[in-house]
Structure 1
Amino acid sequence: MRRVLNDPPRPRRWPRRTAVTLAVLLVAVAGLYLRNSSTIAGQEDGQRPFLLAHRGIAQTFDLAGVTADTCTARIIHPPQVPYLENTLPSLRAAFDAGADQAEIDVQLTRDGRLAVFHDATLDCRTDGTGTVGEHTLEELRRLDVGYGYTADGGATFPLRGKGVGLLPTVPEVFAALPGRSLKLDLKRDQQADGEALAAFLATLPPDRLATVTVSGGDAAVAAVARRLPQVRTSSRAVIKDCLLDYAALGWTGHVPDSCRHRELPLPARYGRWLWGWPNLFVARMRTVDTRVILVRGEGDWSAGFDTPADVAELPDGWAGGIWTNRTDVVAPLLIPG
């Protein structure tokens, strides 16, 4: 029988097989979402973020316009603290303020000592010239590591004269800060630097070695990992391998072996693409003894969470670590209420 033109249209029906397929897909998507939803992993009661003090308590500066050649000591904010980065007073102050771990920068001197200093050259921060590797430790001790700091374009140098003799060695830092957790950042990506650091670390008792993290270039960090696989490590290759493997497998809840016993410094802009971000991802990494450290910054350079406004940017209930130059400012803001 033919339908006449004024008959109402018949409702469209999905074929039974198509309807079943759509229902299965919806259930699968819902399951995938729920399995990777960060709402099922929150901050534990009484827990605050892990605080990584970047070079102790350090002078801060604006990252706008900073390049690889910028002397950041020449663009600091007006000093609010008297400390110089990578020195024992700075590191002690960070721990006293509530830091859980402090990062120091490591380079080999001409006489094979493990000096704690950041820059590739001495010209920016000190009254010396050349590189750390071109000087003996005795020569470096005579430098003023506060010489080059200025907040007003060179009109005044408020920290000049206050850093003479303050450049420490790695063994001195460990001796001065017993029981403290340290992250050692190898500034030169040289196998020799990694081997020299590994030789020192091998002298530490197992309980102290368990508190150590080593980061830096791929070759330098790999040299440490070969000799001391029990040490937590972080490098570009380490981070890349972990995150690529997790991107492929993390939706299942499985954490790949490449992520085991690592430290992952991540800007929030990368984290949002990870399964379970933010707190479920952190919780999963914790099951394999890996620490997630959140850093600020949207450009080529990382920045610390150093002000109340910075802390306000943290994901709700953030359960991982944060990277800061001002533990004294940040720690009081993170004490659980």
Structure 2
Amino acid sequence: MTGTQVNKGYVLVLPKLKRDSDVRASDTPGKWDAQQKKAFQDVASSLDYKAPGAVKSVSSVPTMWARPLSMEMALHNPYYPIRAEMVQQWQGMLAALALAEVRRFPITAQFLDLGLEKDKNPFARSLYELLPDPVKALYALDGKNPWQDVYIFLWNEKPVGLSTPSTIVAPSEEGKWDGLPWWNKVTGQLESPQRHLNVSEKALLWRWLENLQGILHNYRGEAEAIDSISGLLDEFQKSLGSGPDQRLNLSNNPQFFGVAINRGVLEGINRPVKAEAQSSWVRLVPSQGKAQAKPLLIIDQDISPAWGKPPQDIWIHEEQTLASLQIQDLRNGMLDG
């Protein structure tokens, strides 16, 4: 939707429709017409929309659920105007969850049952009354709309996204992912993570996505919706390389994010991957005859530019790299071993 100046004022102008549009105008101006559930999808597919410059989002869905519904339309509709950008943001959030333990990311989750909260909080009641139809749901919940149970994800204790039954996750439009390498501070948007990952991380993420892919078919979801998300997960895997020798290695913590994420296919994002130990690049080799000496690690952030290696490629101790290392761990003796 754009604004056009007319007689020193502004009026809203909708983007024009494609010639083969599935959307038909009402025969009477101002008349409300009943539409089928796929009406929003038809509108998104029919817009002849080319925005100038960088595009962050298309926010024209009149509901509190606008952002997750926009993500749903982008992922399930190949003709959505800014599908490529939305898919990148989706990939970025999935990667942040998958590599949360490996990279020591400050991400947590909180569970929200709108069915319980609606009688306690007016805003929750509004959200509950406007719950989206589960037409693209990847799983069903007995006796309730799957949109009713939501996991809110926080980065440094500030909301950055949520779970949805149709897209698994949906990052917020302007969440602040400070410190996440694939968060673009200029645009304020997540990007695809591939160029920020080392070979081991790509392999771990590949296996995590494969595991999530397998879980998709276990929970009475809509077949067409499952096919759409399965295809996107497959594309994400292929962008990381061919099938690795790396085995699936998940965190030992069943509530890594602070709560158990266990609604339908969301169980696939409940545990991030765990890195396997590798030989240290910065361990000082003891002189002959001093083999029993305590290991000494030489750590300096300037190692990365000096060696011409990105920090995620420099192994410090067991599963820790220069990218995941936290100085507080050294002070607390957590790297002893």
TM-score, with structure 1 as normaliser: 0.23
Higher relative contact order (CA 8 A, sep 6+): 1
TM-score, with structure 2 as normaliser: 0.23
